[in-house]
């Protein structure tokens, strides 16, 4: 299918014709991706049709996956094994308790905190979902997944992690975890997604960041409002996290 075919307005029954074109585009997104796809650059000289189709296919399949779970919790955190053992155990215990409450546990599907949370859900007999990302240095999926999907594009994966859940739980992590944290907070702050509990686990890690918020963003520069600061909640125990989630989660659309 060429770009002209995709962009030509349908002459009859536009909804059906558009659906057929979208189906063909998605199919091509699966079959025409180069084996060694070049990295995205800021200003490509031309649009690569296969990449557009691949992005479309990832959105469609990602939304198809997350809509299967009416109640879910997304866990974020480091993929590394550099934290203290009790931090990973807390992720496992919290995920297990939420799974018993009927939550599907959704993570990035890899190691570290993600693996710990998936293990908790898996051992509890709950849904344990991994939304992994394909990287130059392979990021293997963990073995505690009941369903999985691998993305090529970070921004599509982030959309799925964002729109999948009724609660967002952040453990200590690196750049990726902080990127996801700031995106979630911004989306809630601006009303682009409905307000949901944002739980920050481990005060030793999060309090210095929140101190920066209080002293600089809220205090000195006034670039956020006091209500924005209230969007996040810090806990240090699984029981405190469960209590806060139960008191603040909103179910149903």
Q: Considering only residues 234 and 9, tell me which one the structure prediction assigns the higher pLDDT.
A: 234
pLDDT, one tens digit per residue, over 171-221 is 999 999 999 999 999 999 999 999 999 999 999 999 999 999 999 999 999
**Helix, strand, coil percent content, the chain, rounded in steps of 5:** 50, 15, 40
Tell me the average pLDDT of the chain.
Answer: 88
What one-character DSSP code corresponds to residue 233? E
Q: What is the pTM of this model?
A: 0.83
| Statement: residue 30 has pLDDT above 80 | no
What is the pLDDT, as a whole number, of residue 138?
A: 64
| Placement of tokens 């557009």 in the chain | 52
Q: How many CB atoms lie within 10 A of CB 100?
A: 13
All structural domains of the chain, each given as residue ranges with its CATH number in brackets, are 71-248 (3.40.50.450)
- Residues 6 or more apart whose CB falls under 8 angstroms from that of 230 comprise none
* Sequence-distant contacts of 87-91: CB under 8 A, at least 24 apart: 87/113, 87/171, 87/172, 87/201, 87/202, 88/112, 88/113, 88/116, 89/116, 90/171, 90/201, 90/202, 90/237, 90/238, 91/116, 91/117, 91/120, 91/171, 91/201
Q: Percent of the chain having pLDDT more than 70?
A: 81
Tokens (6 digits) for 120: 């908790």
Q: How far apart are CA 153 and CA 133, in angstroms?
A: 7
The Cα-based distances of 30 to 2, 15, 161, 225 in angstroms read 15, 23, 22, 45
Identify the band that residue 14 occupies on the pLDDT scale cut at 50, 70 and 90: very low
Q: What value does the mean pLDDT take over residues 22-37?
A: 65
Per-residue model confidence (pLDDT) at position 204:
98
- What's the pLDDT tens digit per position in 235-249? 999 999 999 999 999
> If you average pLDDT over residues 66-76, what whole number do you get?
96
pLDDT in tens, 117-161: 999 999 999 999 999 998 877 668 999 999 999 998 899 999 999
Q: What average pLDDT does this structure show over 12-25?
A: 63
Task: Report whether 52 contacts 24 (CB < 8 A).
Answer: no
Higher pLDDT, residue 46 or 214 = 214
Confidence of residue 70 (pLDDT cuts 50, 70, 90): very high
């Amino acid at each position: 299918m060429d770009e002209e075919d995709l962009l030509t307005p349908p002459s009859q029954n536009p909804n059906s014709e558009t659906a057929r074109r979208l189906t063909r585009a998605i199919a091509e997104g699966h079959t025409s991706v180069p084996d060694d796809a070049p990295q995205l650059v800021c200003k490509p000289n031309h649009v690569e049709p296969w990449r557009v189709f691949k992005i479309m296919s990832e959105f469609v399949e990602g939304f198809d996956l997350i809509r299967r779970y009416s109640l879910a919790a997304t866990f974020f955190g480091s993929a590394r094994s550099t934290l203290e053992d009790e931090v990973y155990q807390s992720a496992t215990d919290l995920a297990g308790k939420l799974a018993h409450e009927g939550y599907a546990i959704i993570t990035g599907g890899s190691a570290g905190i993600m693996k710990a949370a998936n293990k908790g859900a898996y051992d509890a007999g709950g849904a344990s979902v991994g939304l992994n990302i394909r990287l130059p240095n392979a990021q293997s999926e963990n073995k505690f997944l009941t369903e999985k999907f691998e993305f090529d594009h970070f921004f599509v994966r982030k959309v799925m992690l964002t729109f999948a859940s009724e609660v967002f739980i952040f453990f200590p992590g690196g750049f990726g975890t902080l990127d996801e944290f700031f995106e979630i907070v911004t989306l809630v702050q601006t009303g682009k997604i409905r307000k949901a509990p944002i739980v920050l686990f481990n005060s030793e890690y999060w309090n210095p960041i929140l101190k920066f918020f209080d002293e600089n963003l809220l205090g000195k520069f006034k670039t956020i409002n006091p209500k924005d600061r209230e969007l996040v909640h810090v806990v240090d125990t699984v029981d405190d996290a469960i209590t806060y989630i139960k008191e603040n989660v909103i179910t149903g659309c």
